[in-house]
């Protein structure tokens, strides 16, 4: 029997709802990291893991709900919470765009580009195409750093400027670019870089 902190015991108890008797072994196999376990669950064909991933998807939808009915900047914490859950456990970089209507309410979230452990290629043309298809009035850009360091790179800043300029041509505002690394988030707008 493993010795767990109260937090770890709560995690294992909740995992038993999805994984049954395999919960403890799965948690230990991932080094007692819930983020690693989520990554495994998202990529696994096993029924219990698929159920765990579905539970995570439902949590994401619950976090997105306030953004669908209110202006996203009325709920900036909700945006960051949503993005932390969205990127949880991803072992690769991906680039996501939150497409918003003219009142800055969430229309849809799209994973547009998937990369490697350390980088992803983003094509402004595809972002513009999707913004037009969604009828967006504004966007929030986001990507993750699986390295665990949320600090935006110079390339991240240049990409933001490029997308801001390109989207302005079709009257779509870039409200923010959020970098997520585990539980950390950095808003380029809060740093005056958008």
CA distance 96 to 94: 6
Reference 148, options 110, 117, 171, 120; nearest CA is: 117
Task: Compute the average pLDDT of residues 53-75.
Answer: 70
Instruction: Name the average pLDDT for the chain.
Output: 86
What is the per-residue pLDDT across 13-57, written as a single tens digit (0 to 9) for each?
A: 988 988 888 888 888 888 888 777 877 887 788 888 888 888 877
CA distances from 138 to 37, 55, 100, 168 (A): 34, 29, 5, 10
DSSP state, residue 153: P
Q: How far is CA 9 from the centre of its chain?
A: 26
3-class DSSP state of 158: helix
Listed in sequence order, the DSSP H helices in the chain are 6-19, 23-29, 34-43, 47-69, 76-87, 124-134, 154-168
Strands of 106-114's sheet in order across: 106-114, 94-100, 138-144, 173-181, 184-187
Look up the pTM and report it: 0.72
Q: What is the dihedral of CA 97, 101, 104, 109, to 10 degrees?
A: -30
What is the per-residue pLDDT across 90-134, written as a single tens digit (0 to 9) for each?
A: 888 899 999 999 998 889 999 888 876 566 788 899 999 999 999
Domains delineated in the chain: 6-56 (no CATH), 70-187 (3.40.140.10)
């Amino acid at each position: 029997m493993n010795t767990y902190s109260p937090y770890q015991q709560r995690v294992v108890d909740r995992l038993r709802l999805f994984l049954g008797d395999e919960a403890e072994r799965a948690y230990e196999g991932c080094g007692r990291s819930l983020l690693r376990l989520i990554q495994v669950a998202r990529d696994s064909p096993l029924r219990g893991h698929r159920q765990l991933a579905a539970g995570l998807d439902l949590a994401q939808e619950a976090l997105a709900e306030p953004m669908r009915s209110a202006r996203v900047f009325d709920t900036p914490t909700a945006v960051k919470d949503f993005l932390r859950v969205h990127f949880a456990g991803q072992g690769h970089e991906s680039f996501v765009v939150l497409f918003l209507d003219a009142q800055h309410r969430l229309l849809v979230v799209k994973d547009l580009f998937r990369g490697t452990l350390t980088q992803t290629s983003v094509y402004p043309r595809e972002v513009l195409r999707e913004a037009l298809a969604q009828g967006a009035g504004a966007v929030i850009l986001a990507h993750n750093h699986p390295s665990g360091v949320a600090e935006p790179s110079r390339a991240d800043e240049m990409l933001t400027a490029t997308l801001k300029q390109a989207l302005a041509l079709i009257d779509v505002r870039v409200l923010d670019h959020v970098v997520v690394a585990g539980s950390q988030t950095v808003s380029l707008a809060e740093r005056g870089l958008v």
